[in-house]
């Protein structure tokens, strides 16, 4: 991080028993912090976490928990800082966001999905960052930062620089997570950031979520200083009718419909290389990752959790039956159900130097 030792500041471990499958990963990784009871369920031994070392160890366990049942919850959160233009929101207001804003998921369910999402996608994003000429002084912005995992990783990469994490839903962004990390509540479709203010802009899975992705991309390109880099990652859902099993085709079709009904564009990934060029970026590179059942443990865990948590919505909408979902979950780990339903695009480019 910034060279300063991190303190636990009252942080605690939270375990969701409805999600835990008793794999024992936590006890094996940190026997000082976790113990399985007689029924194979973990108990947290030290609450709150005693020191920075325990905090680090608990976070490592949370990252590795195969079902996303474990989470480290901050005891104290520092004040949100503000920079640039737009309306800033103090971090305590994150508590005021209601469930209505987050659709039908409970906060615990959202946290579980967030954790599995980070497990699945962060390494990939970090691998792209390795290819960029990061400087410790860079100013970065994570647009639509979500739970803020990448914003925190960026803050580690630029110990003498700054990271701004913006989202219109900042419940999961930890404002005090790093000295050089600023959290701001901001609707990026309505508010702007100062031109030429950043050396790096990250847009991960956010262009697919806004109505006018070209407008956001054009503006985000203007936020870059000459010579700065922009990385965007997003999805291209393959046609569901080409899937290898009838059940897989039905489930993917239903998921796609729900995704689109929520206002998201499930096919933007493929357009990104050309859109970055059109926005004026140069030196554009692209990598693609296959996603879907059988495409890795972390991918399966995320998909499984999504189906367990969000599947009922698909049943309620008449898109699937409970049996369809159970069949999909049962088949997920079998080779004959292995499929590439989606391509995960990572595309990056550079604003021409002055
Ligand atoms: C799929 S999540 C991705 C989160 C994060 N980028 C990541 O990959 O971990 C999309 C994020 O975009 C945010 N978002 C969507 N529309 C937005 C808007 N108009 N202004 C700011 N954030 C927005 C959502 O709140 C959500 O956190």
pLDDT (tens digit per residue) in 60-101: 788 777 777 787 776 543 333 333 323 222 232 232 222 223
Closest CA to 281 of 234, 221, 200, 225: 221
Answer yes or no: is pLDDT of 5 > 70. Answer: no
Q: What is the mean pLDDT of the chain?
A: 86
Nearest CA to ligand 1 atom 10: 206
Question: What is the DSSP code (8-state) at residue 64?
Answer: H
**Minimum CA distance residue for ligand 1 atom 19:** 187
CA–CA separation, 102 vs 110, rounded Å?
Answer: 8
- Cβ atoms < 10 Å from Cβ of 69: 25
φ, ψ of residue 165 to 5 degrees: the values are -110, 120
Q: What gap in Å lies between CA 219 and CA 330, rounded to an integer?
A: 44
Distance 128 CA to ligand 1 centre (A): 20
**Residue whose CA lies nearest to ligand 1 atom number 26:** 146
Share of the chain above pLDDT 90, in %: 66
pLDDT, one tens digit per residue, over 142-200 is 999 999 999 999 999 999 999 999 999 999 998 788 999 999 999 999 999 999 999 99
Residue 102 has pLDDT above 80, yes or no: no
Q: Compute the distance from residue 205 Cα to the ligand 1 centre, in Å.
A: 7
Rg (CA), the chain: 20
- The residues spanned by each domain of the chain are 12-73, 91-350
The per-residue pLDDT for 12 is 77
Q: Running DSSP on this structure, what letter comes out for residue 292? A: S
Which pLDDT does position 1 carry in this prediction? 31
**Residue nearest to ligand 1 atom 13, measured at CA:** 144
The arithmetic mean of pLDDT across residues 228-242, rounded, is 97
| 135 Cβ contact partners less than 8 Å away, ≥ 6 residues apart | 158, 161, 199
Higher pLDDT, 13 or 215: 215
* Half-sphere exposure of residue 274: CA atoms within 13 angstroms, side-chain side: 4
pLDDT of residue 174: 81
Probe target for ligand 1 pocket from 107, 146, 184, 230, with the most ligand atoms within 8 Å of CB: 146
Q: pLDDT value at position 54?
A: 84
Tokens of 57: 């160890």
Looking at residue 319, the DSSP 8-state letter turns out to be S
Residue 12 pairs in a beta bridge with 73
pLDDT band at 214 (very low <50, low <70, confident <90, very high): very high
Look at residue 18 in the predicted model and tell me its pLDDT: 63
pLDDT per residue as tens digits for the range 20-29: 777 888 888 8
102 or 70, which is more confident?
Answer: 70
The β-bridge relationship of strands 181-185 and 198-204 is unpaired
Q: How far is the CA of 208 from the centre of ligand 1 (A)?
A: 9
The pLDDT of residue 83 is 31
Per-residue pLDDT reduced to its tens digit, 107-125: 999 999 999 999 999 999 9
The pLDDT value recorded for residue 99 is 29
pLDDT category at 216 given cuts 50, 70, 90 is very high
Q: Which CATH number among 3.30.420.10, 3.40.50.150, 3.65.10.10, 3.40.190.10 corresponds to the domain 91-350?
A: 3.40.50.150
Pocket lining: 213 vs ligand 1, CB cutoff 6 Å? no
Pocket test for ligand 1, best of 116, 206, 291 (most atoms within 8 A of CB): 206
Report how far apart, in Å, the C-alpha atoms of 56 and of each of 5, 6, 24, 73, 177 are.
Answer: 11, 9, 19, 12, 12
- pLDDT tens for each residue of 32-41: 888 887 777 7
Q: Give me the CATH topology for the region 12-73.
A: Alpha-Beta Plaits (3.30.70)
Q: Is 101 in the pocket of ligand 1 (CB under 6 A)?
A: no
Q: For ligand 1, atom 24, which residue shows the shortest CA distance? A: 144
Q: How many angstroms is it from 106 CA to the middle of ligand 1?
A: 17
- Tell me what pLDDT residue 257 has: 92
Cα distance between residue 65 and residue 38, in whole Å: 19
Lowest average pLDDT, out of 12-16, 86-90, 237-241, goes to 86-90
168 lines ligand 1 (CB under 6 A): yes
Sequential DSSP letters for 194-248: -TT-EEEEEEES-GGGSS-HHHHHHHHHHHEEEEEEEEEEEEEEPPGGG-SSHHH
In this predicted model, which residue has the larger pLDDT, 290 or 53?
290
Atom of ligand 1 nearest to the CA of 142: 6
210 lines ligand 1 (CB under 6 A): yes
């Amino acid at each position: 991080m910034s060279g300063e030792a991190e303190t636990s500041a009252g942080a605690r471990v939270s375990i969701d028993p409805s999600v835990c499958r008793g794999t024992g990963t936590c006890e094996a990784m940190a026997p000082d912090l976790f113990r399985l009871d007689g029924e194979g369920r973990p108990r947290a031994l030290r609450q709150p976490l005693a020191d920075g070392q325990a905090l680090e160890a608990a976070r490592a366990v949370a990252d590795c928990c195969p079902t996303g049942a474990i989470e480290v919850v901050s005891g104290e959160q520092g004040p949100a800082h503000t920079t640039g233009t737009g309306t800033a929101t103090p971090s305590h207001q994150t508590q005021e966001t209601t469930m209505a804003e987050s659709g039908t998921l409970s906060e615990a369910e959202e946290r579980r999905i967030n954790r599995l999402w980070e497990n699945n996608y962060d390494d990939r994003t970090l691998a792209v960052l390795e290819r960029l000429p990061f400087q410790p002084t860079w100013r970065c912005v994570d647009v639509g930062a979500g739970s803020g995992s990448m914003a925190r990783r960026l803050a580690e990469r630029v110990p003498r620089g700054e990271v701004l994490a913006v989202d219109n839903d900042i419940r999961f962004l930890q404002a005090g997570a790093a000295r050089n990390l600023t959290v701001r509540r901001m609707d990026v479709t309505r508010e702007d950031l100062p031109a030429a203010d950043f050396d790096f802009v990250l847009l991960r899975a956010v262009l697919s979520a806004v109505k006018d992705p070209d407008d956001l991309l054009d503006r985000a390109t203007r936020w870059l200083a000459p010579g700065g880099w922009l990385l965007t990652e997003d999805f291209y859902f393959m046609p569901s009718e080409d899937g290898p099993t009838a059940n897989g085709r039905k489930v993917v079709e239903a998921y796609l419909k729900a995704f689109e009904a929520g206002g998201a564009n499930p096919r933007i990934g493929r357009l990104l290389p050309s859109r970055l060029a059109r926005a004026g970026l140069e030196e554009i590179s692209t990598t693609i990752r296959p996603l879907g059942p059988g495409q890795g443990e972390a991918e399966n865990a995320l998909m499984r959790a999504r189906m367990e948590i969000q599947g009922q919505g698909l049943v309620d909408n008449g898109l699937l039956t409970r049996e369809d979902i159970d069949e999909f979950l049962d088949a997920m780990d079998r080779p004959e159900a292995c499929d590439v339903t989606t391509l995960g695009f990572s595309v990056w480019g550079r604003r021409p130097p002055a």
